[in-house]
Amino acid sequence: MAFGSFNGGASSGAPQSEINMVPLIDVMLVLLVIFIITAPLLSHAVRIDVPQATSSPVDNDPVKIDLAIDADGKVFWNDAPVALEELPGRFAAVSGQTPQPEIQLRADKGTRYEVLAEIMADASRSGMKRIGFVSTPGADAGQPAPAP
């Protein structure tokens, strides 16, 4: 270690060329004490009994109802034509099934929103919880949508 002189000579203004190691040693000792204290805490494990589940996968294919509406407002239930007045009864009949089937609603671009909103309201009043919309990605307005 370099110590300065008290004579105030020419070397008093010169920079010190040795590194002062005392602060570095102090930091290392503090880190050593911290690691000595925390090391036993890291190896302490708590044993718990986790319940074991043995279940087989359920092969329930979800039931889907394909509900299509064309531009004229005609409704098709799984490709079979159905009147709008029959829909609430059909919705009520299938809403009690377990698991509840999903209604996949396909509507033509020219379908009036009023018809679509009426069908969705009938399904909701009948207790249907799963209603999805099917669309054709990438279909332009000038091109007809491909058949599913």
| CATH number listed for the domain at residues 64-133 | 3.30.420.270
User: pTM, whole model, 2 decimals?
Assistant: 0.53
Phi, psi of 131 (to 5 degrees): -125, 125
Would you list the DSSP string of 49-108?
-PPP---PPP--PPPEEEEEE-TT--EEETTEEE-GGGHHHHHHHHHTSSSPPEEEEEE-
pLDDT tops 60 at residue 4:
no
pLDDT tens digits, 99-142 = 889 999 999 988 888 998 999 999 999 999 999 888 877 655 44
pLDDT at 49: 76
pLDDT tens digits, 56-93 = 776 667 789 999 999 888 999 999 999 999 999 999 99
pLDDT tops 70 at residue 9:
no
* Tokens standing for residue 142: 């000038």
* Tokens standing for residue 69: 């509406």
Beta bridge partners of 35: none
pLDDT at 6: 60
Distance CA 87, CA 83 (A): 7
pLDDT at 124: 92
Whether residue 101 contacts residue 65, with contact meaning beta carbons closer than 8 Å, is answered with: yes
pLDDT at 12: 61
Distance CA 111, CA 69 (A): 7
33: pLDDT confidence band, cut at 50, 70 and 90?
A: very high
* Structural domain spans, the chain: 17-43, 64-133
